[in-house]
Amino acid sequence: MTQNPQLLQLPDHEAEIIQKIKFETDKKNLDNISRTKAYLDFYLEYPEMIWSFLASMVSRNGGYNMCDLEGDWFPKMLEAPLRHRLFLTYERANWLIFRDAFSQLLLYSYSTKKNAPMFHLLKFLDVSQFMEAEWSLFWERGNKKRLMTALIINEQNVIHKPVIKHPVYKKRVFNTFMFSFEDYLHFSTVLFPTCEGELFGASVNGFRSISKRINLGKRLADILFNPGLYPYFLEFALNTEHTASRHDYEKYFPVHKKRDTPFLRTTYPVISHHDQGQKDWYEERTFKREWIKLDVEHRHPTHLTKWHEQKQKQLHALIALKDLFNT
């Protein structure tokens, strides 16, 4: 949104809350590690905020994707400039979602402390009017799944124009052969690991489509909160420090695997982002009714341990073959 209403319109105590939320959000929006931890910590304090646990687990995957770019394999296939652009794409999307969503979570926290809804302040935090209505609905009815779905819809719309449709990212990342190739072959997968070395999740296919990204988010949520699986995912999250190296979950595999991806904070600098401002996506884009539907359909298996192993072998074979021809 291009301009926030002036804080001078607000009573002093509300203006102070806005400033505190912005400060706290900025402080925790440092990098993928800080964001992942902030989401999990918030969920542990407010278990009704199930989106926050989903965001933490998906954020882990964002970190893995970043560190893969500087691991043992991807530098053999991708030139350094493209790897850097891919990192910046992941980082920008991570940053934008956190900036938008974590401020909403903090405002909810203030609302619970005051025992009164304060969602009229969302517009002062640059949050879509779509979410103001959804938070008010949640406050009245307490439907956790509906709010989580609304947050999934919101986050994917928030990144659509500034990342997916951004001329530079569009030309130099999403329209590249490498991205289309990886997207088509389902090499990019969001994984939820367990401390038993099992992997569950779903593939990212058709990433450029808002509807497909929203559908993916809903499918991932359905897997994460499956009553039979959720305790194992929570156990992993509570007992595994997020370094953004894939070794975070590979160390639980029954067969020993050496670490072949680096730690994020020894690999990448902290990126200074600039808020370029954007209009409310809800005013700019046609809202599709199917987005808010809570029912989920899984067309593919969600237990991915063996599937992931095969995909890794395929990817490494392709990279080794390319490396051989280049040599």
DSSP string computed for 151-213? HHHHHHHHHIIIIIS-HHHIIIIITSHHHHHHHHTT--EEEEE-TTS-EEEEE--STT-HHHH
Q: What SS3 state is found at 303?
A: strand
Q: Is residue 66 part of a domain?
A: yes
Q: Is residue 128 part of a domain?
A: yes
144-197, pLDDT tens digit by residue? Answer: 999 999 999 999 999 998 888 755 655 656 666 555 555 444 446 899 999 999
Q: What region does 176 belong to: left with phi over 0, alpha with psi -120 to 50, or beta?
A: beta
Torsion of CA 311, 312, 315, 316, to 10 degrees: -150
Please state the separation of Cα 141 from the chain's center in Å.
26
Q: Is residue 111 part of a domain?
A: yes
Distance CA 203, CA 219 (A): 10
**pLDDT at position 2, please?**
41
**What is the biggest distance separating any 2 CA atoms in the chain, rounded to whole angstroms?**
68
CB 194 within 8 A of CB 252: yes
In the chain, which stretches have pLDDT less than 50?
1-3, 183-187
Distance CA 99, CA 260 (A): 31
Which residues have a Cβ under 8 Å from the Cβ of 321 and sit 6 or more positions away?
none
**pLDDT at position 173, please?**
67
**pLDDT at position 66, please?**
94
Distance CA 25, CA 21 (A): 6
**pLDDT at position 167, please?**
57
**pLDDT at position 321, please?**
80
**pLDDT at position 205, please?**
72
**pLDDT at position 327, please?**
60
- Name the pTM for this structure: 0.92
**pLDDT at position 152, please?**
98
Q: How many domains does the chain have?
A: 1
Domain that holds residue 101: 7-268+284-326
Q: Is residue 15 part of a domain?
A: yes
CB 174 within 8 A of CB 159: no
Q: Is residue 106 part of a domain?
A: yes
CA-based nearest residue to 195, from 142, 238, 155, 137: 238
Q: Is residue 203 part of a domain?
A: yes
Q: Is residue 181 part of a domain?
A: yes
